[in-house]
Structures are given as C-alpha cells and as structure tokens.
Chains A and B, each alone.
Chain A
Amino acid sequence: MTLPPTPSQTVGPFYGYALPFTGGGDLAPAGHPDALTVHGRVYDGASAPVPDALVEIWQPAPDGSRRGAPGSLRRDPVTGRFAGRDATAFTGFARVPTDADGHWAVRTLPPGGVPYLAVAVFARGLLHHLYTRAYLTDAPGTADELLSALPPDRRATLIAAPEPNRTYRFDIRLQGEGETVFLDFG
C-alpha cells in the first residue's frame, strides 16, 4: 500500500517562539577537544541575508553511528525550561534560527563515515524545506558520489570553506548567482 503524503506548508514568520531551543547549535559537549564550528549566512535571490530562516543539521556520530540519541531538547522537569544537552550523548541533531543578519552557527564533532553534515533549510516564503549538504573537506580524490557528479561551480556550493580554529564557513544561497545545490531524495 502506498499512502499519498501530507503536503508541506511554509514554516511562516512566527515559529521563533516555538521551534528554536536553548543550546540548539551545541552538538559538541563544552570543551570537547575535537569540536568544530560550522557557520554561515542564508541569502535570498537578491543576495540579501534571510533573517527568518531555520537551519537544521543531522549527522552521524564521530564513531559512524546513525542511530542518534534523545536529548536535543532536554528539559528541566521542575521548570519545564530547556536544560541543554547532557554533555555526554551525541544527539546528531542541531536546530538554529538565523539572526537579524542571516547568520547561523553550530558547534559539533566530526561526522563518522561521511564527509558532510546533512542540512535542511526552512524559511518564511519557502513552501517546502530544502536539503543540502555541508562537506567538510574538498581534498583531491574525495570519492563522493554526489560531489564528483557535479560541475566544479556547482560542487563549490557544497564545500564548507576551512577557516582558522577548526571553523568552516558554509553559506546557503536560496536563489540566483552561486545558488546552492539542493537535493532531492525521491
């Protein structure tokens, strides 16, 4: 049996008090020596920053496990407020809203088994979210099926550019010149 799916609708402008949570970008435990930062801006088709986008990350744990772990939205059972992750489990999931300048950032650990973070983008004006990938390496010979199938200019949009201090820059351009490669999983 194949059921027809429920259609997507835009996240709208007012999710800000509902979906983001404290520590949403802090996948890596505080002070972890392998922690790296991935950050960037979301731009629209006029190259203006998008201040009301939501970026979600999913990735395998450093050991390659794809089972994830609960606790991304861990709560204080007394107050009901967000308590942050428990400093041990690697949940694999991050959610960060862009700021007024369209910027977002996550602190995470290197993904095991794949060279990329899976990225989903939601925004007012976007009727159906978009998937892309932030590749943390562009080393020659990287045998990645998706990257090697893309022409160089398109491929470049998926590469998170290394910066000092274990930081990578990954901008997302929704439309126009330098438009990010977005993915369809069927």
Chain B
Amino acid sequence: MTAQPPTQADIGAEMARARDAYAKAVADGAPVRHHPGRDYAPYRSSALRHPVRPLVAVADPGAAELSGPVFGVTDVTDLDHDLTRQHPGEPLGERITVTGRVLDRAGRPVRGQLVELWQANASGRYAHLRDRHPAPLDPNFTGVGRCLTDDRGAYTFTTVRPGAYPWRNHTNAWRPAHLHFSLFGNAFTQRLVTQMYFPGDPLFPHDPILQSVTDEAARQRLVAAYDHELSTPEWALGYRWDIVLDGPAATWAEEGRR
C-alpha cells in the first residue's frame, strides 16, 4: 500500500508548527536564524539530503575559503543581462527590470563579481528536459542571465516575469513566481544561491521552500520591492532587490576586487 501524498493542509500545519517552534525558541533567547534549517521537513526533498551531524566550525584565519573565485569581462557577454534579447523574437510575458546592490554584512559593495540568474518562462515552464509541466515553452526565451556587479555593487537584469508552477512536494503544490540567483562575494564562504520573490504573491503562505526561512524578517528579505521610479514608460516594470552576503572574508579582500 502506498502512502497518500500529503495535502496542502497537512503541509500547512507542519509549516505552522515550525514557525511557532521558532518563535518560541527566539522568545526563550535563541538567536535569530537568518537561513533555512537544512532539516526543514515540510520540504520533502530535504529528508535524505541534509546532514544529521553538526557542522564543524573552522576559525582558521589561513583557511583557503576566506578567498574566492573572481570573474571578468571574458566571462560575460554584453547581452547576457538581457534575457529578452537572446533569440530572434521577443519572449511572451510582462517585461521587467530587476536591479539592486550586492553587499557584504558590513555594507561594503561587492564589486566586479558574477551574478547569475535563471527562471521559468512567463507560463511557468523551465527550458529543462525534466520539466514536464504542461505549460508552453517559449522559443524566444531560455531564462538564463549573467552580469558583473559595478563599482557600487549594482546588478541589473531585463527579463519577463516568470509564472507560478506546480510541483510534487504534496498534492496541489504550487511555487510562487521566483527568480533563481547565484552570487559570489569576496570569499568562497560568502557564496549564495537563493530565490527572489515578487511582492504580494498569494502563494507565499503555501510554499514550504519560502517558509523554510522561519524568521519573518528574513523571509521578507527574499521579496523584491516594486519601484515605480525604476519602471520605464511604455516598456517595463521595475523591481528592486538588494542582496547581503553572509560569511567572513580575508582582510586583504576588503578593498574589493576588479
């Protein structure tokens, strides 16, 4: 006999328990938790893919991880930041500009570093063989972009707003629309892969990946702000999303890299 897949109500109850347990722990003096726990059970794929032993702390000032990879003009082409211009025709969907700054926790800009973005198309379908969601592929949209941050640590992408899409975590599971981001800081310890969400999405409370961040303020930091000043008349809507990279770096890297 096969176990029935959990319902949205089952997952919702698990997520509420995790939120309550976190709130109680913080009230009892536990530190604020900025990142998701790797053992967050409502996200079912985590079950066999998280370590059960505690991480081992490394405080060695000579650790190689306190430095990290660099990228440059050879790694990015001029059109990589514009996901709407990678094919002969225009992709379908709502054209958007997404911009923001990449900073370290001291507020210093991360300069000249690689930012990678990937996403589903406007219908909620990835250009990936294993995505079988019966929504149309768009021959004019791949959904991959790259850029280097400028001297202020700023990045900018032009793309289309992705659609929500179903997945199989539980019955009737849907991901809120999101952009995947990959970021490099001044050290390998500052590496970050994350997802940006769009403000006001009604799927937020139903999504165990977003809700894996049990701290409300931390969760809000994954949601971009609509910024009317960034919208381009007759062309695109603008969103602003700043990114702060966690983790230490060697002191020699503090002046930034080019």
Contacts and interface: CB of A to CB of B under 8 A. Distances in A.
B237 to A, nearest CB: 22
B205 interface: no
Nearest to A3: B244
The binding surface of chain B is classed by DSSP as loop
Given A4-B218, A16-B128, A92 B69 contact: yes
A127 B181 CA distance: 14
B15 interface: no
A46 B47 CA distance: 10
B57 to A, nearest CB: 5
Contacts, number: 245
B244 A6 contact: yes
Interface residues of A, number: 76
B71 A72 contact: yes
B180 A127 contact: no
Given A12-B180, A18-B118, A6 B64 contact: no
A4 B105 CA distance: 7
Interface residues of B, number: 84
Given A14-B130, A58-B65, A127-B43, A184 B76 contact: no
B221 interface: yes
Interface in B199-218: 209-210, 212-213, 217-218
Given A118-B188, A127-B37, A150 B49 contact: no
B78 to A, nearest CB: 9
B142 to A, nearest CB: 7
A39 to B, nearest CB: 20
A58 B56 contact: no
Given A3-B244, A14-B126, A114-B64, A175 B182 contact: no
Given A1-B107, A17-B126, A183-B65, 5 more contacts: A3-B105, A9-B213, A14-B126, A86-B74, A184-B55
